[in-house]
Structure 1
Amino acid sequence: MNVINVISLISLLVFSSLSNFVFSKDALYEPVSKHGKLSVDGINLVDEQGEIIQLKGMSLAWSIWFPQFYNQPTVDGVKNGCHSNIVRAPLAVDTNDGGYLTDPEGQMQLIENVIEAAIKDDIYVIVDWHEEQAQSHLAESMDFFDKISKKYGSYPNIIYETFNEPTEQSWSEILKPYHEAVIKTIRANDPDNIIILGTPTWSQSVDQAAADPITDQRNIMYSLHFYAGTHKQWLRDTAQGALDKGLPIFITEYGTVNADASAPVDLDESKLWWEWLDKNNLSYVNYDITDKDEGASALIPGTTAEHVCEPDTLTESGRLAVEQNKK
């Protein structure tokens, strides 16, 4: 065998070996200006060139409780310090402390602050109707998404999340009709941007959506939420089954700790989740950018917006999420 053939054989073996691995990229260097308007191709999120894209970033917490992070300095920190190409803005809808139903103008302003900061920072932004009983407020949800899609639907940055975490509602009888109504409202103003649909059981029962998906719409995905300390192989199996049936999934919220946001960090399960997510090219957003003294918080108590995601302000969970965003 001559030298050229030997080199060719080695190259073939190396390429074959590498093709078994999924290469993730540092999300900081994968902005909107590089990838443009997103769409859904089969189960994959793809960019304007039709290439599979993986979004990785951070979620803010309830707008009513942590308004101090709904601003430009926070989004700057999420992008640059937390190496993100996406930020999630959860609109608190109906809480004992107020919310969108009580103060629509004030809460809308917070959401718009984040959207405009994300556009300025060249990253994607999820606008999240953060509620567990959204079917009770369909008219208000439709009105909100009508306003958002009219104002920002022309920007490729925008992703809509129509229902954060349904609980025990029937997918086919309650959730699917709710989503269809909100989708129709958004599509009247924005025909293309991604819409993510909440699934039953706190956005875990993606199998129910896979059994009865919405089939007459394009560029829609379905949310999966997990917390590594609580949700283990059984939920990965459920999600894999949904993917195998052709359901496009987006992880709009995940944690490295328990489902009640309490410590400790479950590093082993977090690694298993990240491995599975990257293998399937799924996008994921870590919960949450707060300085609350609890396991899920990415920031240590007392952190201000101007210091979001600086190395010495990150908790154990925050450090792990940031390292994952870089991979």
Structure 2
Amino acid sequence: MYVQEDGYETNPTMFTNRVNTLVDEATERGMYALVDFHTLTPGDPMYNLDRAKTFFAAVAARNAGKNNVIYEITNEPNGVSWSTIKNYAEQVIPVIRASDPDAVVIVGTRGWSSLGVSEGGNSTEVVNNPVNASNIMYAFHFYAASHRDNYRAELERAAARLPVFVTEFGTVTYTGGGAVDTASSTAWLDLLDRLKISYANWTYSDADEGSAAFRPGTCYGSTYAGTAVLTESGNFMRNRIRTPDNFPTS
């Protein structure tokens, strides 16, 4: 849910209804719905604190009976301290818990959800000062062509102490464009599989950028064309996720 950029702030009721409709669509298909409050700009989540409380109160009340809804309460905070992000989280999470005491809530981390790495920090600040709430996870994002060994090392270090969910990653550069870095993408997904960390790929769209899974114009096509509509990134991800995981389910 984009908040600025002609998003939620322009028509809260309409956009809240749209999110709820998409949650219903995902539920009908047996899929998880990760409701992401997308506040990349501005990077300070406190700027949208009141909007977040209103939005999540409505969405949680509407979807509390579902067991497939996950809430990501701030996307890629940046330019602010971890203590600011923690303060925001500890005000928004109780709003969700008032309706849904059990849903997983994901908290963005400093430096565009890099556990602080992209701003010269690391996960120690979170480990030493965790959010005071239950059943939460912490977000980590990466783009394989831009973020390599030092990011992988920090994620592995953090995962030994914190529950982490990679709620956004791309096979290309952090801009969302450029060529697919197959070697780095493979290294990342091998690591995530080994650590049993869930991940969501950016982006399931036909945007004219390297990260998109579909070729431009696919969404407006009149017929389904199978794998011919996939980009290099889309083919890479399709081949990867077609291999079953060997994860315990109970």
Contact 1:257 1:266 in 2 (8 A): yes
Q: Which residues of 2 match residues 165-314 of structure 1 at below 5 A?
A: 165-172=76-83, 174-205=84-115, 207=123, 208-214=125-131, 216-244=132-160, 246-304=161-219, 310-314=226-230
1:231 Cα deviation after fit: 0.4
Distance 1:267 1:308 in 2: 27
The alignment partner of 2:215 has SS state of coil
Tell whether the 8 Å contact from 1:299 to 1:309 is kept in structure 2 after alignment: no
Report which of the two structures shows the higher radius of gyration computed on alpha carbons: 1
RMSD: 1.6
Q: Provide closer, same or farther for how the CA distance between residues 308 and 192 of structure 1 changes in structure 2, counting only shifts above 3 A.
A: farther
The alpha-carbon deviation at position 109 of structure 1 amounts to 2.7
* TM-score normalised according to structure 2 size: 0.89
More strand as a share of residues: 1
Match of 1:289, SS state, is coil
Deviation of 1:251 after TM superposition, in Å, equals: 0.4
Q: Where in structure 2 are there 5+ consecutive unaligned residues?
A: 117-122, 244-250
CA distance in 2, matches of 1:321, 1:92: 25
Point out 4+ residue stretches in structure 1 off by more than 4 angstroms: 305-309
- Residue ranges of structure 1 left out of the alignment (5+ in a row): 1-90
Deviation for aligned residue 1:308? 7.9
Structure showing greater relative contact order (alpha-carbon pairs closer than 8 Å, 6 or more residues apart): 1
Partner of 1:119: 27
Range with greater deviation from structure 2 (227-236 or 307-316): 307-316
1:147 to 58, 66, 72: 58
Q: Are 2:37 and 1:129 aligned?
A: yes
Change (3 A) 1:146 1:308: farther
Q: 1:267 to 1:308 in 2, by over 3 A?
A: farther
Partner in structure 2 of residue 25 of structure 1: none
CA distance in 2, matches of 1:305, 1:113: 21
The two structures have a TM-score, normalised by structure 1, of: 0.68
Shift of 1:305: 6.7
Q: Which residue of 2 aligns with 1:92?
A: 2
Distance 1:309 1:165 in 2: 35
Aligned to 1:159: 70
